[in-house]
Structure 1
Amino acid sequence: MTRATPFRDQIRAHLTLGLPLIGSHLAQMAIGTTDMVMLGWYDVEALAGLVLATTLYMVVFLFGSGFAFAVMPLVAAAAEADDEVRIRRVTRMGLWISTGFALAVMPLLWFSAPLLQLLGQNPVLAEGAQDYLRIMGWGIIPALAVMVLKSYLSALERTRVQLIVTVAAAVANIGFNHAFIFGNWGAPELGIKGAAIASLGVQVISVAALVLYAVRRFPTHDLFARLWRPDREALGEVTAMGSHVGLTVLAEVGMFSAAGLLVGLLGTVPLAAHGIVLQITSLAFMVPLGLSNAATVRAGRAFGRRDGPALRQGAAAALTLGVGWAGLAVIAFVALPEVLIGLYIEPGEPLRAEILATGRGLLLIAALFQLADSTQVIAVSLLRGMQDTRVPMLIAAASYWLVGMTSGWFLGFVIGLGAAGVWLGLLAGLGTAAVLLSARFWRHAAAL
């Protein structure tokens, strides 16, 4: 039986679910920004070590988060069928595989200095990064558990609690950093190790808060009853889907990281402009990212009840919101490039004019790919809601790397367009992904 609703109601439902998720993503970004700023105040060398550490940590964390993202559509479909047993099985095995993954990668984080030196990094900075990662290696266990519980709660359309917990975590992180980085309030002065302790503390508090909420709000799910018992079927399902999602996320993040390495070959000014514009676009991306999470949940519920009209209407609503936001971002990027870029550059910086000139061109290209970026992230999330992850993974990898990076290198270095050529390659990769993923979704949705 169809449950298709008026379009405005679909828009309202996506905003109700998505706005807290957008706020949660922004608060999570604020935690990382706070770490950078406060450690930068403490010591530039410690800040450089943190940059190295977080680069490696995020690669591991993002792949591990794929298992959590897989929980979201599976729980959404089970919730629509009122299948509390399946909700428990999927979520519990999500915690299992996430914990197992965290334990498996801990040796990599513990002995990270030799790896970083092998990649050509400064030995002193590599040691500092390892000091951070040896503490955060333990922190990845609660961090991935937080991601699983957020996916579980999102699927049940309980997103406000995530916003509250993440904002509280951001505030707590400032206090912990103040204490353990600088040695205030009777705490030892630990520098980069203090930042790691602060992050570990925040993750432990966050997972405790989400566990407490889940147990009290959904007692009939018995989420942690007989947690030690394996469930091979659910474990295999979450592992397979999570691997696909994790690799998809890594493909996109890796494209932007590789673009940074290419631009770095062009010199200090292009790299600085690239970093600033990437930060601006990352902030703008939090909106379609939150909308895409909501799209996964709504699509998962519609797919769970085999409601094709609601699935298609919900997708249209999500894409309308994403395109609408992209339009606003385009206006801001085109109308205010110097204002936006200038926020990141000291007024007295000798290279300010050169960075502004280069960054202005990159921001115009970034304006062009706002539409593509919003469309592709929502399309892949809609497919995720339909539990379609393997082929989208292949589409993403081909789009980002065969199209995006190849054309970026060709335009930037062979044609000689420099940083602008690399960014045009990003546009090509995102645009290709948007077209192919959207076509796959609408083809499958039409058949439901």
Structure 2
Amino acid sequence: MSQTRTISARAEKDETPWRTELAATLKLSWPLALANILQMLTYAVDVIFIARLGEAPLAAAALAVSWFGMLLWALSSLVGAVAPIIAAELGERAPALRPIRRATRMALWLAVLVGIAAMAACMAIVPIARATGQQPEIIALAREYMVVIIWSMIPMLLAAVLRNFVSTLGRPIFATAISALGIGVNALANYAFIFGNFGAPELGLQGAAIATIITALFTLACYVIAIRLDRTMHRYHIFGRWWSPDWARLWSIVKIGTPIALTVSAEAGIFGAAAFLMGNIGTPQLAAHTVALQIAALAFQVPFGVSQAATIRVGYFYGARDKDGIKRAGWSAMLVGTGFMAISCSAMVLMPRTLLHIYVDPDAAKNAVLVGFALQYLVIAAAFQLVDGLQAVAAGALRGLQDTRVPMWIAIFAYWVPGFGVAMWLGFWTPLEGIGVWIGLATGLAVAAVLLTWRWVMREKLGLTNRPAASEPN
């Protein structure tokens, strides 16, 4: 999907610009969505292997990954701000070799810098675990796991930058293929280093962390090789003169990306807080909440991919100063995202027990209580599928306009004031308990969807579509 500076003109000449844009959005979305799902499966492989070590190692790994994963997710969003920046450069003056090369280089710099800081922050898992009353054995195992897995942080963040680079340049299928290969590498590495197969040492829980490092390095290497072998991407020479700084572009990425990272942290935080609320209601409710949320999270990977595509597509037209193109790109993405969520919503209502089969046996007597609660929560999950998809895609479209600061405040307000407030009230001061917590989550997502969509509708009146003049020649 090579972009040129005639992108706007081509859209105007097309007799069916809306159909063309919808097709372009779908073409970009499905590889990204599939890559997101495959990434979830990579984490699932870790759980499958670590579970064979026993309950304590599994609990310790889950504790460590909850903190590690939140930092990784937030910082990946920070460095991922390179996507709307290079998309706008493409739309304005394709091929934009120099500005895209410099922006990507600075994103790689930022990945290393924040990765180092994140490695240090990861070790806060010990005081966090103590503050939340975890058992000493679990804390010791979590620390043992964390001191190894932190070395995968920087490769993962570098790979996140390169994933955004290849996707924005029209090669999202590379992300899909590399994620699929990573599943196999991760499974083999876990099998080797956890249990001592293929001549590797038997390292138990630390072996799982080593497998994560190997997978991260493999993924990074795959992106580097793919970029080197692809003629279109190689001509950007993003690894050339890697020592040369461009402070203005580094600041642009930080300025756009920091609100995105904080938004992601706010969203992750509200779902984490919901887990603590459910734990105070009861163990069966917490278990059911975890299963139902996993199903909802799996479905969310599709609109999340559409959101990433929306950022890129809107970014192209933003750079080209094509307001009609911006309109088509944003609304097409919202149609695709909410359309899929309508399907997943229907599945949760019509075949919930089938979906539960992914994680538990709903027919087993020992799971009867868990399944009973999970079925109730899936009804609420079905209700918030539409608003969850809409708020994600609306946020992605606004990121394409490099509008991230106000959406951050919208998200923080929506999740933590009406969202958490309703969850607390219904969960602890009414008989609804766990259902009340889920209604609170749905409320927060709905408020975010309404406010973010309103901001998207008002984009021209708010001046969000006005892009400054180019600062340098191509």
**1:114 Cα offset (Å):** 3.9
8 A Cα contact 2:31 2:173, kept in partner: yes
Match of 1:314 among 311, 323, 329: 329
Instruction: Say if 2:261 is the partner of 1:250.
Output: no
The residue that corresponds to 1:176 in the other structure is: 189
2:279 and 2:86 mapped to 1: Cα distance?
42
Instruction: Say if 2:35 is the partner of 1:24.
Output: yes
Counterpart code for 2:98: V
1:278 and 1:96 mapped to 2: Cα distance?
35
Instruction: Say if 2:208 is the partner of 1:161.
Output: no
**1:343 Cα offset (Å):** 4.2
**1:137 Cα offset (Å):** 1.3
SS in 1 for 2:86: helix
Instruction: Say if 2:197 is the partner of 1:197.
Output: no
The residue that corresponds to 1:431 in the other structure is: 446
Instruction: Say if 2:97 is the partner of 1:76.
Output: no
**1:386 Cα offset (Å):** 0.4
**1:340 Cα offset (Å):** 2.0
Deviations, residues 75-124 of structure 1 (Å, cap 9, x unaligned): 11112222211101111111111110111122233463344223322221
**1:392 Cα offset (Å):** 0.4
The residue that corresponds to 1:291 in the other structure is: 306
Match of 1:39 among 50, 71, 87: 50
Distance 1:359 1:382, change over 3 A: same
**1:44 Cα offset (Å):** 2.1
Match of 1:359 among 374, 390, 393: 374
Distance 1:40 1:68, change over 3 A: same
**1:171 Cα offset (Å):** 0.8
Match of 1:87 among 100, 111, 122: 100
**1:211 Cα offset (Å):** 1.4
SS in 1 for 2:195: coil
**1:350 Cα offset (Å):** 4.3
TM-score (norm 1): 0.97
Counterpart code for 2:420: M
Q: Which segments of 5 or more consecutive residues in structure 2 lack a partner in the other structure?
A: 1-7, 466-474
The residue that corresponds to 2:468 in the other structure is: none
Counterpart code for 1:230: P
2:124 and 2:341 mapped to 1: Cα distance?
42
8 A Cα contact 2:310 2:330, kept in partner: yes
Distance 1:101 1:225, change over 3 A: same
The residue that corresponds to 2:385 in the other structure is: 370
Aligned alpha-carbon RMSD (Å): 1.6
The residue that corresponds to 1:109 in the other structure is: 122
1:128-277 aligned at under 5 Å gives the runs 128-217=141-230, 218-277=233-292
The residue that corresponds to 1:327 in the other structure is: 342
**1:342 Cα offset (Å):** 4.4
TM-score (norm 2): 0.91
The residue that corresponds to 1:379 in the other structure is: 394
SS in 2 for 1:274: helix
1:340 and 1:27 mapped to 2: Cα distance?
18
1:432 and 1:55 mapped to 2: Cα distance?
26
Deviations, residues 295-326 of structure 1 (Å, cap 9, x unaligned): 11100001110111111112221111112111
Instruction: Say if 2:70 is the partner of 1:59.
Output: yes
Deviations, residues 263-305 of structure 1 (Å, cap 9, x unaligned): 1111111111101100100111011011111111100001110
**1:339 Cα offset (Å):** 2.5
SS in 1 for 2:432: coil
Counterpart code for 1:265: N
Q: Which segments of 5 or more consecutive residues in structure 1 lack a partner in the other structure?
A: none
8 A Cα contact 2:79 2:110, kept in partner: no
Moved more, 38-47 or 245-254: 38-47
1:79 and 1:136 mapped to 2: Cα distance?
36
8 A Cα contact 1:68 1:151, kept in partner: no
The residue that corresponds to 2:403 in the other structure is: 388
SS in 2 for 1:295: helix
Moved more, 171-180 or 206-215: 206-215
The residue that corresponds to 2:421 in the other structure is: 406
2:390 and 2:287 mapped to 1: Cα distance?
28
Q: How many residues align?
A: 448
**1:348 Cα offset (Å):** 7.1
2:363 and 2:385 mapped to 1: Cα distance?
31
SS in 2 for 1:190: coil
Counterpart code for 1:250: S
8 A Cα contact 2:384 2:446, kept in partner: yes
Moved more, 222-231 or 296-305: 222-231
1:86 and 1:121 mapped to 2: Cα distance?
49
Deviations, residues 367-403 of structure 1 (Å, cap 9, x unaligned): 1111100000000000000000000000000001011
Runs of at least 4 residues off by over 6 Å: none
1:360 and 1:278 mapped to 2: Cα distance?
11
1:428 and 1:111 mapped to 2: Cα distance?
32
Counterpart code for 1:304: G
8 A Cα contact 2:356 2:362, kept in partner: no
